[in-house]
A and B are shown apart, each in its own frame.
Chain A
């Protein structure tokens, strides 16, 4: 919350809104509303007031859903009510007083039947020890901060996955830090320790995870903050307001206080001098996007609340409205965009929360500061009507512009017209004064627009992306295919970093995916899908999206194309047609590749294309071979020490000798090799199963060549279901192993071969994790392999079955772009 409110400014604002619109009656209705969009918003999002019993004052400041589905509401008056029935179609919720007499509740979490209440003075564990429905035990969990001014509010988070809870502490009188850790974020650990983690807060109004699980805080406009913003809390970070530096001696683990910022500079310039300074991730332009933004939550309703699943929602206290925000991490720095969402709430919004049925609760009060909504307090529920509003869904940054996605397809003519996209930028001074104007405006031109096939994604190339500026989008000129205008024409993206350019130029002949946040940032993986049987044209783009979006790698997928430039698994091979010559465009990408993932079969390539492979094999760079890669080439003419090298046997450690189990009838269960369970590639790998059969790669009675370390054995099953019985007459054979390869220049490369890998095999999360881990391992990133990293598929993945009966299987030549779709970030 902003403490300092200039009444004159509010008055001027109100009249300003009124002034231009009074002469006509149609426009007059805009008076009193912020964006003038309420009548459109309500078509998609209905606002339902939750009646509060007569006499009950419910100044909600925090919410949490209990395991039994009731919602606990913590209030500014220090009460906790347990509410049932907030999701009823015509709600008449009950409110049972659970605890009372606490001091300004701005945080509620639940664990093991106890409520954890963050109140101004402390974090308190509140329990009902005699089970009479009323709390009777109040245990102080943390009071490791000073508290000597009423404006020293404390905001508490929910628990994170490790059981930590976070507290954000406002400054004294919102200007000073007179008491211990005012202006700091603290971590309260499960064993009861309180650990200071970051300084530099001013007047926070909410703390919790962003949509990617990173810890974020709401900051209010004021000194050193020209607008409100969402900020990432980085351990050891400095969040921008230097008043709280005096407590570093009390946080010895964080070392000395950072250097003091120079007033009148910019955040990014100061960051060059003060490495602890964390750039503000999402700036909410003052007035246009709220005056004092408050508690936020993430839409985890998986679509029940409409098209914005996975995004952040937050309220504004002064203007009684709700907004959305999305974030992304570029080179380790968070940034993102905010979007108008819904106005016309009844009171000042202090916090928001999703109900079990996927509606958004919003509550608050309007005392103390100017507030547009006139109700002294209110609890309201926003619910999706099922109507999809035409909105900007999300803005993401690209190396030379932005990718803007929409909830509905754009009118193609307007959508492809750069003139439909108006972008202006501005920045703020970073200074000690209160608030600050928008300065250094620029108007970059939109040089080109590429509209996706589904019409929902526009990729904009700008004349310049201004680092350190907020990019204000005005897309009023766009129309949906149904000729609708956007419900909200504006959105605001804060640029702290511009992503590095993709190592390979985008082309219609291949696919490129830019790495998002993740340990793979800066590494380039080239994946080659060039076979006829196992639908690698589906599985490798899927892996490429996953490695980019979830792990940060830049990825490029190359394909075998036919004469029409289409990905063509139906192309003949030399055994069938001795005249055939294959074509994999883009192999130059191997020069910048840090890792090659190869899934080829019987490729006959021209010498100038093969040369790229030969060079790669000499480079010492690592290699992953999947399934048919061990018979991936036919005219492979690479020699070492004067001897021709067999690609499958010599490079990958074994080539296809036969189907161990019935081809296209039996399936494979992966068994982790016991002695290798601690191998980094096997971290977190469980339950590998795929409907393809086991490859035999060495003679019956033989074994893996020397230097190969088997990690996974494939046990044939009778039939092609996950639970089918073991084919007991067939022993398990290695299906995944590691080895090293040394080429002509004497450089050793890490090699991983997996002989599973049909597109349907990759529906197994275990197999995906195995290959993802192998990519880390191949690149020497063993230490960064995490059992909790995501191997969730990004976008749609509906793999076709393996085989050669292309017509029956629905396999037809398609443009590479066909396989790139569905990418989210």
Chain B
């Protein structure tokens, strides 16, 4: 059945409101000829869906919205009204009215049938008001959706709206914003959010691009656009006979020429409007292009749109004119047409065309206003094909790569299939825009000279580039311009050199100073003031990537580990606790370090916890942030033959290749580290063993006589008599302070009542030592020590 059979008996009903399809770029400065505009309109309006003799094969396909699941996405009542009168329901829509020529009753029935069919083809149904919406709306800042809408870039195509989201700011609106007034009647909060989160799912053609919204951002904008109104929620029960009728109509009306829908009828293989196959020419004043459409899909075309279409369709030919031009010029056109079709020109200028419209200029914002318009207005695309590396263009277009974190307007993603042709076209179109600039490879020793000079030029003692640009991931203290290290990855050398010599030639008004005005180096000391040599040195220096040494003025901050709320354990190498060190920090501001390699508490300090370096190969070592009280780092427990036996000392490594002469120390003295267990306050109990004695070692902050101490509780569990166990507490200069209290110049240690104190003098090369001799019988012994740092 053809569309004509359906509509031939119907009456054309005048009086429909003329809402021409809104093509948002149409009134921008696009720079296209009328025929080019028409040619784009042929595509955008999907004329070839029925006029299959129109050759649009040069472009990627332009599928219409995917109708799978549409019944769950769009309110049924809206769907029905929209099918009956698309432009009257959603002003500006590109979908033509297809049922005009039916009687009102037939039209209503057809719309009803199509709607029921679409609903029945959806796996789930439209859900009006998910309960979490209310909760969410209460949690979110009410204006966050408005703020996002007006900052990420929605305004470029949809125009600014009032704070309720309901009304456009009329005075700012040229009449080609894509209207959103219908949105509250069309979507539920969740279905709109889902659409905004991944718009290409439903509209694969990419004209509504993915704005890189997170799910929560999509919900915020959805809430903003829908406002407090609740969408109509009629429950629809599908009637089989109407569903069948709807499916039949779906095929007859060729809905499937634009829309994907699983289970839909196959597309009629011989469409009625292939003029060439019918041996007649297309009449450009009738059908869809008539000023009063009847018997054909009604787009409500404005007169300028009709004129452009007629111009594109030409006088003699039945195909849109494809100018026969060479590759370069064709690429120029292809770029211009693509940038127009996707409305890139709403944000980007290219030559005299495009650019942010005055009505929305204020909504292009930045977190770095000091950097000027460069920081808030998307970059010009003039000479973009001579500026950017091809792979970088692909990363920006398809992988959401971005280097301007300060720019709040986002570069959307239009879908790789839709723009796959653009990177190559850009490079060809702009191929002759700048003279090639070969980068000469410096050879040693010149390479070293170049690296040194490049580094100095970027630094504060050179041109000071790093005072306004991030470098290697390290923020500058001042402005936060594009990270310089990305330069060779993004830019072509010829553009880099030309831009550095004359930044304002490419970016009028840029705040970047000219360092080689007229090609003459300002900085005459380095590389003899040779401009080329300096620029090559900078390029070469940056080409080293992350290994490039920081220029002067860039200082990575060491990371300070903070202890907040509960205790904190950090394992890492340290000069105070060895390679198997454990730093334990307490919110009270007193901390200790434990050498898990030897089982000894090796350091105590008061103040901030530790700093950790993260900038090198072997980063991660910790340094206490205060002067530490160091304690001996040998094994802390040992079974000595006698109280006079020398303490087993850890091997000392010396020389350029110091091989550990005693790799089994401390294992051969019975020590085994077993790990640690954190309690609810994240305080660790260190677990280790000395021979047959298992040791639980827990230290916390406590008070003793009103003074802050580290209280260390040791629980020693022995399974068998195994001779006396010695614990070494202090070495060097210490003296007895009171009964079972010993003091150094920095620390007061209080011993538990258990065990025999062995205060033994220096023996041989060893220092004086304070030992505790423990005769452990099977079972558990608990020992409590207090360590009081003396200020």
In the bound complex, do residue A78 and residue B571 qualify as a contact, i.e. CB atoms below 8 Å apart? Answer: yes
Contact B663 A180 (CB under 8 A): yes
Interface contact B447-A12, CB-CB below 8 Å: yes
Decide yes or no: A374 and B545 within 8 Å by CB, A8-B444, A368-B619 being known contacts. Answer: yes
Q: Is the CB of A103 within 8 A of B620?
A: yes
Given contacts A39-B391, A129-B677, A151-B618, contact A11 B543 (CB under 8 A): yes
- Are A376 and B473 in contact, with the CB atoms below 8 A? yes
B398-425 interface bits toward A, Cβ cutoff 8 Å, 1 = contact, 0 = none: 1110000000000000001000000100
Residues on A with beta carbons closer than 8 Å to the beta carbon of B392: 32
Task: Give the contacts of A71-129 with B (CB-CB under 8 A).
Answer: 76-78, 89-90, 92, 100-104, 119-122, 124-125, 129
In the assembled complex, the Cα of A125 lies from the Cα of B443 at a distance in Å of 51
Q: Which of B437, B615, B676, B682 contacts A22 (CB 8 A)?
A: B437
Interface window among A131-139, A274-282, A554-562, A628-636: A131-139
B residues 465-506 touching A (CB-CB < 8 Å): 472-473, 483, 485-486, 488-489, 492-494
Taking CB atoms, residues of chain B closer than 8 Å to A125 are 675
Beyond A121-B571, A140-B675, is A366–B545 a contact (Cβ under 8 Å)?
yes
Q: Is the CB of A28 within 8 A of B389?
A: yes
Min CB distance B196 to A, Å, is 11
Q: Cα distance A5–B597 when bound, in Å?
A: 31
Does B653 contact A370, Cβ atoms closer than 8 Å? no
Contact A42 B394 (CB under 8 A): yes
* A19 lies within 8 A of B439 (CB): yes
Query: What string of 1s and 0s marks CB contacts (under 8 Å) between A538-581 and chain B?
Result: 00000000000000000000000000000000000000000000
Task: Scan B204-216; emit 1 where CB is below 8 A from any A CB, else 0.
Answer: 0000001000110
Looking at the assembled complex, report how far the CB atom of B427 sits from the nearest CB atom of chain A, in whole angstroms: 5
Beyond A77-B614, A367-B615, A370-B544, is A344–B427 a contact (Cβ under 8 Å)?
no
By beta carbon, the residue of chain A nearest B386 is: A25
Q: Is A369 an interface residue (CB 8 A)?
A: yes
Of B210, B436, B678, the residue contacting A136 (CB under 8 A) is B678
A24 within 8 A of B: yes
Q: Which of B542-576 contact A (CB under 8 A)?
A: 543-547, 568-573
- Whether a CB of chain A sits under 8 angstroms from the CB of B673 is yes
In chain A, what residue has the closest Cβ to B213? Answer: A90
A809, B176: Cα distance in complex, Å? 69
Stretch at the interface among A142-150, A257-265, A415-423, A697-705: A142-150
- Kindly state whether residue A10 has any CB partner on chain B within 8 Å: yes
Residues in A neighbouring B674, C-beta threshold 8 A: 139-140
Q: A18 interface residue, CB < 8 Å from B? A: yes
Q: How far apart sit A18 and B399, CA to CA, in the bound complex (Å)?
A: 24
A92:B215 contact, CB within 8 angstroms: yes
Please report which residues of chain B, range 517-548, place their CB below 8 angstroms from some CB of chain A when the two chains form the complex: 540, 543-547
B contact residues, range: 35 or more
CA distance A440 to B791 in the complex (A): 70
Whether A179 lies near B439 (C-beta < 8 A) is no
B451 at the interface (CB under 8 A from A): yes
Contact with A along B431-446 (1 / 0, CB 8 A): 1000011111111100
Closest to B547 in A: A370
- A178 engages B544 (CB within 8 Å): no
Given known pairs A39-B391, A103-B572, A151-B617, the reply for A374 and B659 (CB within 8 Å) is no
B235 is an interface residue with CB less than 8 A from chain A: no
| Residue in contact with A7 in the complex, picked from B473, B547, B615, B677, CB distance below 8 Å | B547
Verify if B236 is at the interface (C-beta below 8 Å from A).
no
Kindly state the separation between the CA atoms of A19 and B442 in the bound complex, as whole angstroms: 11
Chain A residues with CB under 8 A of B494: 22, 28
**Complexed CA–CA distance, A89 and B659 (Å):** 53
> Within the complex, which residue of A15, A31, A136, A250 is in contact with B442, where a contact is CB–CB below 8 Å?
A15
How far is the CB of A123 from the nearest CB of chain B, in Å?
A: 11
Task: Given A92-B215, A102-B571, A176-B657, check contact A14 B543 (CB 8 Å).
Answer: yes
CA–CA, A136 to B683, complex, Å? 10
Q: How far is the CB of B635 from chain A (nearest CB, A)?
A: 15
Q: How far is the CA of A247 from the CA of B580 in the complex (A)?
A: 21
Per DSSP, chain A at the interface is loop
Contact of B214 (CB < 8 Å), options: A28, A92, A135:
A92
Give, as a whole number of angstroms, the nearest-CB distance from A25 to chain B.
5
B-contact 0/1 string along A799-815, CB 8 Å cutoff: 00000000000000000
Alpha-carbon separation in the docked complex, A5 to B549 (Å): 13
The reply to whether the CB of B198 lies closer than 8 angstroms to some CB of chain A is yes
> Which residues of A in the span 179-194 have a Cβ within 8 Å of any Cβ on B?
179-180
| Per-residue contact bits, chain B 259-273, to A (CB 8 Å; 1 contact, 0 not) | 000000000000000
How many angstroms between the C-alpha atoms of A33 and B545 in the bound complex? 13
Closest to A16 in B: B441
Most buried by A among B423, B568, B573: B573
Query: In the docked arrangement, what's the CA distance between A631 and B392, Å?
Result: 72
Chain B 673-713: CB-based contact to A (< 8 A → 1; otherwise 0) = 11111111010000100000000000000000000000000
B308 at the interface (CB under 8 A from A): no
Q: Give every chain B residue within 8 A of A662 (Cβ-Cβ).
A: none
Contacts of A590 in B (CB 8 A): none
Q: Can you list 28 A-B contacts (CB < 8 A)?
A: A8-B447, A11-B447, A14-B545, A18-B543, A23-B438, A25-B427, A25-B431, A26-B431, A42-B394, A76-B620, A92-B214, A119-B571, A121-B580, A124-B675, A136-B677, A139-B675, A140-B673, A140-B674, A146-B663, A147-B580, A148-B579, A148-B660, A151-B618, A344-B395, A366-B545, A370-B544, A371-B546, A374-B485
Beyond the given A140-B675, A366-B545, could you list 19 further A-B residue pairs with CB under 8 A, ordered by the A residue number? A10-B544, A11-B540, A12-B447, A18-B439, A22-B438, A23-B438, A25-B427, A28-B390, A76-B620, A103-B573, A121-B597, A139-B687, A143-B673, A148-B653, A176-B659, A178-B653, A370-B547, A372-B545, A374-B545
Q: Give me the 8 closest cross-chain CB pairs, A-B, nearest first.
A: A150-B618, A29-B390, A370-B547, A368-B617, A180-B663, A14-B543, A376-B473, A15-B441
Measured CB to CB, the residues of B under 8 A from A are 197-198, 210, 214-215, 385-386, 389-392, 394-395, 398-400, 416, 423, 427-428, 430-431, 436-444, 447-448, 451, 472-473, 483, 485-486, 488-489, 492-494, 540, 543-547, 568-573, 579-580, 596-597, 614-621, 653, 657-660, 663-664, 673-680, 682, 687
